[in-house]
Structure 1
Amino acid sequence: MQFLNAAVCVLAAFSASFALPALAQETWPTKPLRLIIPFPAGGSSDQLGRLMAKELGQKLGQPVQVENTDSKGTKAAAGAAPDGYTLVLSGVGTNAISHALNPNLDYDSLKDFVHISQLSEGPNVLAVATASPLKSLQDLVETGKANPGKLTYAQVHASSGHLSMELLKQTVSTCVSGSTGTRNCTTLGLTGVPYTGAKPALEALADNKVSMLITNLDAVAPLVRSGKLRALAVTSLFRNPQLPDVPSISEAGYPGFKAVSWVGISAPKGTPPAVVARLEKEMENAFKATEARKQLEAQGLVVVVSRSVDYTDFIRKEIERWRRVVKVAGIQSPA
């Protein structure tokens, strides 16, 4: 009997040791969370992050406090305790393009994080001045190939728009193999003119100082609707409801072309699976057929709300793709 009682006690203690972590996960969260946004306050990425923080806070029953940082915030998130109380805004710049530009980046987006859900993606827009003789993407391609160096584009170094332009140049180039095995290539001979940001680049385009640019939809759409600029194409796979009369590059003759900005939510590697599953579920609850979803769609964004496994695979493919584009273009990391 004494042996039986002792065995029961051991079994009870053994079971309790596993029940406590499970119970902790069931009651998570018991305190406020923080969402690191590795961008200054006020920009489009910050606004998307704050919307996620607000919606998740309501669903979880605990506030999600926003912490704006510089680019070092992603590294800080990678080193944070994986207890479910630190989240980070992930996106095309910090988690894909940065890897393409800097092989010695001090964090690894595939090894240091668990990616929970992609919130949305938004296209860039290829635009020209209203007075431009270029009326279509085909006009641009034909003129660029026939007159190398004549056309210019506003280039914000290593931005999503810059890399979208490089992808376009690589996509429309045509090569023919000669009888001796040599390859003769006709490229889109555009000349980049550097600018420090989207605002001065758009001003230069409106003043006819450059022939074109590619930049974010939210920055271009009001200027297109007001008649100050003309949109030739969007870089998403399909047309965007904010500019319904503007074809996609894919539709305009280059099937499969896609170059979009995207954001989502991630956490440090080792965050408990039960926490990841709960966050994944609440992202879906917050942005499927809700007012928050309508708010994003009104800005021209495509709401994705993917599963963790899909978001992880998506980021892996984005890193590989932008590495290829950067290598071919010979783009160097900004100083």
Structure 2
Amino acid sequence: MHKRLWLRALGCGLAAACLAAPTHAQDFPPKKAVTMVVGFAPGGAADAAARLIAKKLGDNIGQAVVVDNRAGAGGNIAHQLVANGPTDGSMILLGSIGPLTIAPHMMKVGYDPFKDLAPLSGGVHFPNVLVVNAGAGIKTLADFVAAARKQPGAVTFASTGAGSASHLTGELFGQQAKVEMVHVPYKGGAPAMQDLLANRFTGYFAAPPTALPHIESGKLIPLATTGLARPAYLPNIPTVAESGYPGFEALNWYAFVASAKTPAPILDRWNQEIVKVLNDPSVREQLSKHGLTPHPTTRAELTDFMQKESVKWGAIVRDRKITGE
């Protein structure tokens, strides 16, 4: 009698374990190629970071990691795609400050960054650099502000899309400098840079990977950087903060997220793999050459960081009455 009861209990235990297996013992890496979605066109900062990191991730996990550029709506299209995407770990997103912490305050988006997307790890962060065409006749930040005050609305600034970091950086600067500038949105850093080189607008709070080659060639003039300290790759260019706007800081950043429906063991494993890559000396060196600082975090740390950024930029959106139109 006791033996039959024991066998029955053992059978129930094995059945429960089998039922639990799909949730707690997911295969990793996924059996198919991994897609790393990027919300901007090829050639910009997000694309540069994604391709460097994807290559090393693929080498480490023994599975291809393919970068998929889904430009449009300031990166919101890519974020919605991943929020509704595969939940087996085969699709991750190099998310960005705009769609994750700014756009939801400005417009109706098809996802909730804190409910539909799950944090994996911080990615990279960096200050933007305000650049102008060498033929624009503007040499300093003071010149830029003077031009904006002389003809309100005549000075234009580009961004990688409505609600992007470059957009809100321009709005924050306009607020502090008390100038009105016209925003010109693009679908990524590369197309914006092409038009700046053609002198089709006044200035651009650009990401370092996009701007540095043209600064070095002399085609663009850097006026100021947007962090609190001067970056090592532009040691002679003042920050906005030290140019008459104390405390000004607007960091750009990218972070890794996935569909919130992905099982926690897979999310945790992706955190481990991404952190490993971002701490790799060779990867850090390559990112540094592009002006990007690796920023690996725990999943909880990324959530906390995103919440603080959401509060900060939400206040700017309301104060400047910014919409996605």
Query: Aligned residue for 2:79?
Result: 74
Query: Aligned residue for 2:9?
Result: 10
1:298 and 1:44, CA in 2 relative to 1: closer, same or farther beyond 3 A? same
Query: Aligned residue for 2:303?
Result: 312
Deviation at 1:308, TM superposition (A): 1.1
Given that 2:230 and 2:237 are in contact with CA atoms closer than 8 Å, whether structure 1 keeps it comes out as yes
For the residue of structure 1 that corresponds to 2:59, the secondary structure is helix
1:150 and 1:9, CA in 2 relative to 1: closer, same or farther beyond 3 A? closer
Query: Aligned residue for 1:56?
Result: 57
72, 96, 100: which one aligns with 1:95 = 100
Instruction: For 2:219 and 2:128, locate their aligned partners in 1 and report how far apart those are by CA, in whole Å.
Output: 17
Asked if 1:163 corresponds to 2:168, the answer is yes
For the residue of structure 2 that corresponds to 1:126, the secondary structure is strand
Point out the more displaced range, 285-294 or 128-137. Answer: 128-137
Query: Aligned residue for 2:256?
Result: 265
TM-score by length of 2: 0.81
Given that 1:154 and 1:201 are in contact with CA atoms closer than 8 Å, whether structure 2 keeps it comes out as no
For the residue of structure 2 that corresponds to 1:89, the secondary structure is strand
Query: Aligned residue for 1:180?
Result: none
Instruction: For 1:131 and 1:54, locate their aligned partners in 2 and report how far apart those are by CA, in whole Å.
Output: 38
226, 249, 260: which one aligns with 2:240 = 249
Given that 1:25 and 1:274 are in contact with CA atoms closer than 8 Å, whether structure 2 keeps it comes out as yes
Point out the more displaced range, 159-168 or 299-308. Answer: 159-168
Asked if 1:293 corresponds to 2:280, the answer is no
Asked if 1:274 corresponds to 2:279, the answer is no
Instruction: For 1:37 and 1:224, locate their aligned partners in 2 and report how far apart those are by CA, in whole Å.
Output: 25
Give aligned-pair identity as a percent: 28
Coordinate RMSD, CA, aligned: 3.1
Point out the more displaced range, 304-313 or 42-51. Answer: 42-51
1:82-138 deviation line (CA, Å, top 9, x unaligned): 332332221123323322331x21111111011101210232212345577765445
For the residue of structure 1 that corresponds to 2:291, the secondary structure is coil
Given that 2:94 and 2:257 are in contact with CA atoms closer than 8 Å, whether structure 1 keeps it comes out as yes
Given that 2:224 and 2:238 are in contact with CA atoms closer than 8 Å, whether structure 1 keeps it comes out as yes
1:233-269 deviation line (CA, Å, top 9, x unaligned): 1112321222111122234343442223322221111
Asked if 1:153 corresponds to 2:156, the answer is yes
1:271 and 1:4, CA in 2 relative to 1: closer, same or farther beyond 3 A? same
- Tell me the amino acid that sits aligned with residue 58 of structure 2: G
Instruction: For 1:302 and 1:37, locate their aligned partners in 2 and report how far apart those are by CA, in whole Å.
Output: 18
Instruction: For 1:317 and 1:67, locate their aligned partners in 2 and report how far apart those are by CA, in whole Å.
Output: 29
1:3 and 1:328, CA in 2 relative to 1: closer, same or farther beyond 3 A? same
For the residue of structure 1 that corresponds to 2:284, the secondary structure is helix
85, 108, 112: which one aligns with 2:112 = 108
- Segments of structure 2 that go 5 or more residues without pairing to the other structure are none
- Segments of structure 1 that go 5 or more residues without pairing to the other structure are 173-186
Query: Aligned residue for 1:176?
Result: none
Asked if 1:118 corresponds to 2:122, the answer is yes
Instruction: For 2:201 and 2:65, locate their aligned partners in 1 and report how far apart those are by CA, in whole Å.
Output: 43
1:85 and 1:170, CA in 2 relative to 1: closer, same or farther beyond 3 A? same
Point out the more displaced range, 30-39 or 149-158. Answer: 149-158
Query: Aligned residue for 2:29?
Result: 29
- Tell me the amino acid that sits aligned with residue 63 of structure 2: Q
For the residue of structure 2 that corresponds to 1:108, the secondary structure is coil
- Tell me the amino acid that sits aligned with residue 259 of structure 2: P
1:154 and 1:200, CA in 2 relative to 1: closer, same or farther beyond 3 A? farther
For the residue of structure 2 that corresponds to 1:7, the secondary structure is helix
Instruction: For 2:104 and 2:48, locate their aligned partners in 1 and report how far apart those are by CA, in whole Å.
Output: 24
Instruction: For 2:39 and 2:196, locate their aligned partners in 1 and report how far apart those are by CA, in whole Å.
Output: 25
Instruction: For 2:295 and 2:45, locate their aligned partners in 1 and report how far apart those are by CA, in whole Å.
Output: 17
Query: Aligned residue for 1:198?
Result: 192
Instruction: For 2:258 and 2:114, locate their aligned partners in 1 and report how far apart those are by CA, in whole Å.
Output: 12
1:170 and 1:15, CA in 2 relative to 1: closer, same or farther beyond 3 A? farther
Larger radius of gyration: 1
Instruction: For 1:193 and 1:21, locate their aligned partners in 2 and report how far apart those are by CA, in whole Å.
Output: 52
Point out the more displaced range, 75-84 or 63-72. Answer: 63-72
Deviation at 1:324, TM superposition (A): 2.4
Query: Aligned residue for 1:45?
Result: 46
